[in-house]
Amino acid sequence: MVRTDYDIVELISAKAIAARVESLAREIDAYFAGTDKLIVVGLLRGSFVFIADLARELETPVEIDFLEASSYGDSTTSSREVRILKDLTSEIAGHDVLVVEDIVDTGHTLAHVLKVLSARGPRRLEVCALLDKPSRREVDIKARFIGFEIPDEFVVGYGIDYAQRNRNLPYIGCVRFHDD
């Protein structure tokens, strides 16, 4: 059941996000310096705002593709059953690949995606996550590039949703249900 009895409290401002995206782009450019093409793979749907802003800041030549994986549905907790809903159209064998994720939570979705992509033979396969929630990690996985480490809160905004709502917020906010 989708709840509508909640408020959103700002956790990370739009200004702080913009500054961090710019600095992440510099870190990524330095790491992938000299590559002829970086394939940036956005994990849909939560990463679409982040990947758009990040790609505009990168100086490295990029090709952008998307993969959609799901383990949440309309829930606030992961089902731990990962399904690939949309696969890449790009060939990644022999190329540098950067997976762009909105949030690393339990790690199940990202671990599954990395296993699938790794089997395709990329030269390098790294992860950039806007948000990292290490207190919830159930799988030993870590993103090389992390925007912000956050506490164990259910968040929305900047592309991240609750039941397909609140993706359009320019900031990251914590969901506060009225009975919490």
The answer as to whether 7 is a domain residue is no
The answer as to whether 87 is a domain residue is yes
Write out pLDDT tens, residues 19-38. Answer: 999 999 999 999 999 999 99
The answer as to whether 174 is a domain residue is no
SS3 104: strand
pTM of the model: 0.90
Residue 172 burial (10 A CB sphere; 0-12, 13-18, 19+) = buried
Number of separate domains in the chain: 1
Domain of residue 59 covers: 15-150
The answer as to whether 5 is a domain residue is no
Residue 79 has what pLDDT? 53
Task: Supply the Cα-derived Rg of the chain in whole angstroms.
Answer: 16
The answer as to whether 167 is a domain residue is no
What does 32-76 look like in DSSP terms, one character per residue? TTT-S-EEEEEEETTTHHHHHHHHHH--S-EEEEEEEEES-TTSS
The answer as to whether 129 is a domain residue is yes
The answer as to whether 4 is a domain residue is no
> Could you give the residue numbers annotated as active site?
105
The answer as to whether 75 is a domain residue is yes
Residue 50: CATH number of its domain: 3.40.50.2020
Say yes or no to pLDDT of 180 above 60.
no
